[in-house]
Structure 1
Amino acid sequence: MSTDAFFGHLTRIRNVILPSGARAALNSPRGLLGGFILVHLVFLVFAASLSLRGEAFSDTFIYRDWAVAGFSDANLSGGPSPWVYPILALIPMAIAGAAGPGPFFFLWVLMTTLLNGWALLKLTERGTNRAAIPAGWWWLAFTFLMGWLGFARVDGLTAPLVLVALAYGVGRPFVASVLLAVGTWVKVWPAAVMLALFAVVKNRLTVVLAGIATTAAVVALAAALGSVPKLLNFLTQQGDRGMQLEATFTTPWLWLSVLNVGDSRMYMNTAINSMQVDGPGTATMSVLMQPLLILAALLVAGLTFWALHNGKQHKVAGGVDRTELLLAGALTLATAFVVFNKVGSPQFMVWLGPAVAVGLAHSWREWRVPAAMLIAIAVATFFIYPLFYDALSHNNPWMALVLTIRNVLLVVLFLWSVRRLYLLGRKTPAPAPALKES
């Protein structure tokens, strides 16, 4: 079945389920606003109910303890240090903890909601870009499916920042670079998107200056707080960790553990609150993953540079669409950061949403394939965490199969992204309509 036939079939199913009047209502700024309110109200109500009982959820328990301890290791009884994160990640934790530990979780979810709202406004140009409204619905669906991985983790704060940055993109590279630099000082992964931006903009000095200016402000903040010695701790505190259970490259040892072969086993690394897999060769693989990730990122960046300059040289489709190239490069690099990562936490799937959402707003037809794959990845991830993580960590073969399918989809998404970059730069035009630059 061809791609057009597959999506045509899905469209016919949608039309049967939703009458034309309902589709028209949903495909409007008011309909999208209603969807945003409904989706986020679910999380806000749940967060409020837990906060009223003095509870938190998932990683926000750890964030709350850090805030109560004043982000000082000396005040903690054990567990991971707050400095496993870059310094700007501590700011939202401090804000959520400003009113004490009770409302921490609700305030955290509220901050995520506000950032998601900002991202949706920018994606749809405050609802004036009607063509982007379906992309907004996709973003809401993906956000809902990712669940608490987007609302109880730092990653959920960085995803909307990256989406807004990509929406500014090549048209406003300085603003985009500042947002990506801020995101990088919250959770490192937005650096991948900044690398893609650097590769495609006309004035690369703008990207560099924005990054330097933002970093200078971060260093000044650290100096004011007396935290300069800890500023780069996030680069070293997790360097000796092993292969995490959900990581793509852990899949062979996952099955060795499930089948009880070669003394492979799953265990909890309590120092960093992470399930890992140990077995023959895992220590070597763990050491190799960091250089492998760097190599993959450099190769993708090189392919992005090639696509830009080769496309310009051969006048591909009238010249390379820099926005399309930015989005393809951003998705490829973000996917590389997931596929070639020895950590592989389930919340990393959140990293892949922004480029796809902006891509759908830019050209729905060209981005519908990765959008469908990412929805499947989100569904599989939801089954992994939070539904059946306990079963997975106790060698359940069915959940190991779900995780394997999810990891295969990630590899396929990476290969699709690499192919897309190649098609954008080769002599024969990529099978995409001529699109505006931004």
Structure 2
Amino acid sequence: MSRRAALWCGFALVHALVIVLGLVDGRAASWDVDQLYRWWAGTTIRGDAIPGLTMEWIYPPLALVPIVLAGFLGAAVDYTLAWGLLVTAADAVAFGILIGAARSRGRVVAALFWLAAILALGGVGMYRLDAITVPVAILGCLWLVGRPWLASALLAAATWIKVWPAALLLAAVIAVRRRGAIIGAGAALSAVVVALALSAGGATHLLGFVGDQTTRGLQLEAPVSSVYVLLALAGSSGAAVYYDPDIVTFQVTGPNVDVVIALMTPLLILVAAALAAVGAVKVARGARFVSLFPPLALSLVLALIAVNKVGSPQYMVWIIAPFVLALVVDRRAWAAPALLALVMTAATQVLFPWAYDALLALQPAAVALLLGRNLLEVVLFVWIAALLVAVPTAVRVPAGDPPPATPEGSP
């Protein structure tokens, strides 16, 4: 069997297994798709209401496209299965472009990492909107140098599905010297999305997802919530885990929790600005794209995970796209961080859905696992931020992106 055929066999097996993982154990891992997405698709197709246009919604407007598409596919098969098949199809397009003829070792390693990450995270990584953005973001990252207009449009489209790819766009604006193309394509795509939403009568709800995120409390799994989880485990007065029915998630409360909630968003903005500033200084001093973009993109994405009051398990898929590019560029240099990322994603699947009931009951073993996973998030963030600071600089090339002449070939 050829290397390429073996990779495709692995792709099929991993996706089949993860689809099944979302359909067992009461569909806990696929609950959002099975209940919320199915309902949103139904109301849209029937014309009762359109989320994000005629009613408030927690997602950007393009998120409705895959949800409704799965609804049409759901006419032939169960909606949840249709979603899994839709994600698999999107992954297959990006996977095929990534591996090509499977001659590049860097691309093969990156593909294996992607499959391992999908398997490590399990059903929750597939049965969320985030899963749709991953293949789009991977293609966007791979094409940033050779096709910056197309790459930026893809990353902007992914951002209008789920906000996190904005971190990749920011890194691209900083690291790609053809930044006019990055800004222009992203702005053009965004203008089209906004114009379509406004023409459909969605002016009042267009940016509703922004307010929803900024007003949220501390989610149970977020790193910052670890202190309150420990306080609740110790029986400290006022510290507890509670269910918020408005956003359908578990949060924590305790001493001075409102102050912490108020500080988290400004802190995240400050950290992201600091990382962007480091990247800008590196560019000014002649840092090359292939050296700068992977740690800059990864550190920005990890900041959205480690310095965030929200900590949903599917957030782990965000690291896949920048890690894929990093491994394509230099598989040896990025092997150790990638392995740590896989440990982090595997621990996340154990937490959700398998040990989630134990965590809600504050059983010590489950709490210890959560704290360990959260520590890994912080460690990986600090590690990648340190790599960003250590990016070498040189005399700036007068014009154009430097050719990505690395042992692994061009991304």
Same fold by TM-score greater than 0.5? yes
2:334 aligned residue: 367
Q: Which amino acid aligns with 2:351?
A: I
The one-character-per-residue Cα deviations of 1:204-252 (angstroms, maximum 9, x if unpaired) are 1111111111011101221342222211010112322211000011111
Contact 2:73–2:82 at 8 Å: present in 1 too?
A: no
Is 1:160–2:135 an aligned residue pair? yes
Counterparts of residues 268-287 of structure 1 (less than 5 Å): 268-287=243-262
Whole-Å Cα distance in 2 between the matches of residues 222 and 338 of structure 1?
Answer: 29
Q: Which amino acid aligns with 2:212?
A: Q
Whole-Å Cα distance in 2 between the matches of residues 217 and 168 of structure 1?
Answer: 22
The one-character-per-residue Cα deviations of 1:73-100 (angstroms, maximum 9, x if unpaired) are 9869xxxx76100000011111111255
Of 167-176 and 413-422, the range deviating more from structure 2 = 167-176
Contact 2:175–2:293 at 8 Å: present in 1 too?
A: yes
The one-character-per-residue Cα deviations of 1:9-62 (angstroms, maximum 9, x if unpaired) are xxxxxxxxxxxxxxxx58x11110110011112244567x78xx9999321011
1:344 match: secondary structure: coil
Aligned sequence identity (%): 34
Q: 1:123 to 1:324 in 2, by over 3 A?
A: farther
- 2:314 is aligned, of 341, 347, 351, to 347
Whole-Å Cα distance in 1 between the matches of residues 84 and 21 of structure 2?
Answer: 10
Q: Which amino acid aligns with 1:179?
A: L
The one-character-per-residue Cα deviations of 1:83-119 (angstroms, maximum 9, x if unpaired) are 1000000111111112557621122111110111122
Is 1:384–2:381 an aligned residue pair? no
Of 206-215 and 125-134, the range deviating more from structure 2 = 125-134
Contact 2:29–2:353 at 8 Å: present in 1 too?
A: no
Counterparts of residues 33-52 of structure 1 (less than 5 Å): 33-44=8-19
1:407 aligned residue: 374
Contact 1:321–1:437 at 8 Å: present in 2 too?
A: no
Whole-Å Cα distance in 1 between the matches of residues 318 and 246 of structure 2?
Answer: 25
Gaps of 5+ in 1: 1-24, 313-319, 428-432
Whole-Å Cα distance in 2 between the matches of residues 268 and 155 of structure 1?
Answer: 23
1:277 match: secondary structure: strand
State how many pairs are aligned: 394
The one-character-per-residue Cα deviations of 1:305-324 (angstroms, maximum 9, x if unpaired) are 112222x2xxxxxxx33123
1:69 match: secondary structure: helix
Q: Which amino acid aligns with 1:334?
A: V
Whole-Å Cα distance in 2 between the matches of residues 426 and 167 of structure 1?
Answer: 22
Q: Which amino acid aligns with 1:92?
A: P
1:65 aligned residue: 39
- 2:360 is aligned, of 381, 387, 393, to 393
Whole-Å Cα distance in 1 between the matches of residues 29 and 292 of structure 2?
Answer: 41
Whole-Å Cα distance in 2 between the matches of residues 196 and 434 of structure 1?
Answer: 20
Q: Which amino acid aligns with 2:217?
A: G
Whole-Å Cα distance in 1 between the matches of residues 63 and 329 of structure 2?
Answer: 30
- 2:124 is aligned, of 149, 166, 180, to 149
Q: Which amino acid aligns with 1:419?
A: A
Deviation of residue 134 (structure 1)?
2.1
Is 1:88–2:88 an aligned residue pair? no
Structure 1 consecutive aligned stretches of length 4 or more whose deviation exceeds 4 Å = 44-47, 53-56, 71-76, 99-102, 433-438
1:275 match: secondary structure: strand
TM-score by length of 1: 0.84
2:386 aligned residue: 419
Contact 1:66–1:72 at 8 Å: present in 2 too?
A: no
Aligned CA RMSD, in angstroms, stands at 2.6
Q: 1:66 to 1:250 in 2, by over 3 A?
A: same
Q: Which amino acid aligns with 1:280?
A: P
Q: 1:385 to 1:55 in 2, by over 3 A?
A: closer
1:356 aligned residue: 323
Q: 1:54 to 1:403 in 2, by over 3 A?
A: closer
2:402 aligned residue: none
Whole-Å Cα distance in 2 between the matches of residues 426 and 324 of structure 1?
Answer: 9
Contact 1:86–1:234 at 8 Å: present in 2 too?
A: yes
- 1:323 is aligned, of 279, 290, 301, to 290
1:271 match: secondary structure: coil
Deviation of residue 267 (structure 1)?
0.2
2:243 match: secondary structure: strand
1:303 aligned residue: 278
Q: Which amino acid aligns with 1:330?
A: A
TM-score by length of 2: 0.89
Contact 2:239–2:254 at 8 Å: present in 1 too?
A: yes
The one-character-per-residue Cα deviations of 1:371-403 (angstroms, maximum 9, x if unpaired) are 011011011101110101111111111111111
The one-character-per-residue Cα deviations of 1:286-309 (angstroms, maximum 9, x if unpaired) are 111111111111111111111222
Contact 1:178–1:211 at 8 Å: present in 2 too?
A: yes
Contact 1:116–1:160 at 8 Å: present in 2 too?
A: yes
